Amino acid sequence: MSRRCELTGKGPMTGNNVSHANNKTRRRFLPNLQDVTLISDSLGRSFKFRISSAALRTVDHRGGLDAFLARAKDDELSPSALAVKKELAKAAASA
C-alpha cells in the first residue's frame, strides 16, 4: 500500500531533523492518510479511498465526492478514483 493520497496525489516529502546543536539528519514527512468511505450522491454508492485528512476537509468544503471529482485534475487521481470520476461523468451525461 503506497503512502499516497488517492484524491490529491499528496505523498511523502523529505527534509532534515535539526538538533539543538544544529546537526542535520535526513527524515521523511509522511502524509496523514486515513481509510475512509465516501458516498456519491448521484451514483447512490459508497467508495473506499485512502486519502489525506486535508483532502477529506477539501471534499467536505466542496460539497461532497461528486463535486470534488468534477473539479479534480486527472493526473492527480489514482486509477480507482479516476474510474469513479468517469462513471460520474457517464451518469451525468445520461441524465
Tell whether 7 is covered by a domain: no
Tell me how long the chain is: 95
pTM of the prediction? 0.88
pLDDT digits (tens, 9 = 90+) for 16-41: 999 999 999 999 999 999 999 999 99
Q: What is the chain's mean pLDDT, rounded?
A: 96
User: 54 pLDDT band (50/70/90 cuts)?
Assistant: very high
Using only C-alpha atoms, the chain has a radius of gyration, in whole angstroms, of 17
Question: Going by C-beta distance under 8 Å and a sequence separation of 6 or more, which residues neighbour residue 9?
Answer: 75, 76, 77
φ and ψ of 50, to 5 deg: -110, 100
Tell whether 77 is covered by a domain: yes
**Domains contained in the chain, number:** 1
User: 59 pLDDT band (50/70/90 cuts)?
Assistant: very high
Tell whether 43 is covered by a domain: yes
Q: How far apart are CA 73 and CA 23, in angstroms?
A: 40
**CATH classification at residue 64:** 2.30.170.40
Tell whether 2 is covered by a domain: no
- pLDDT of the residue at 1: 72
Domain that holds residue 43: 13-94
